[in-house]
A = this chain, B = another copy of it.
Amino acid sequence: MPTCDVNLVDSEKVQKVRTAIADTDTLFRMAELFKAFGDPNRVKIIWALATEELCVCDLSSVVGMTPSAASHQLRSLRNLKLVKFRRAGQMVYYSLDDKHIEMLLAQGLEHVQEDRR
Contact = CB atoms under 8 A, between A and B. Distances in A.
A24 to B, nearest CB: 7
Contact of A109 (B7, B26, B98, B109): B26
**Chain A binding surface, main DSSP class:** helix
Nearest to A32: B38
A62 B3 CA distance: 11
B66 A1 contact: yes
A114 B68 CA distance: 31
Interface of A: 1-4, 6-10, 13-14, 16-18, 20-22, 24, 26-40, 42-44, 47-48, 51-52, 54-55, 57-58, 60-62, 64-68, 81, 91, 98, 100-101, 103-105, 107-116
Per CB-CB distance, the 4 closest pairs between chain A and chain B, nearest first, are: A34-B37, A35-B38, A4-B57, A38-B38
21 contacts: A1-B64, A1-B66, A2-B66, A3-B60, A9-B57, A9-B58, A10-B58, A14-B61, A17-B48, A17-B58, A18-B62, A26-B112, A29-B115, A30-B43, A30-B109, A34-B35, A35-B37, A35-B38, A100-B110, A101-B111, A107-B107
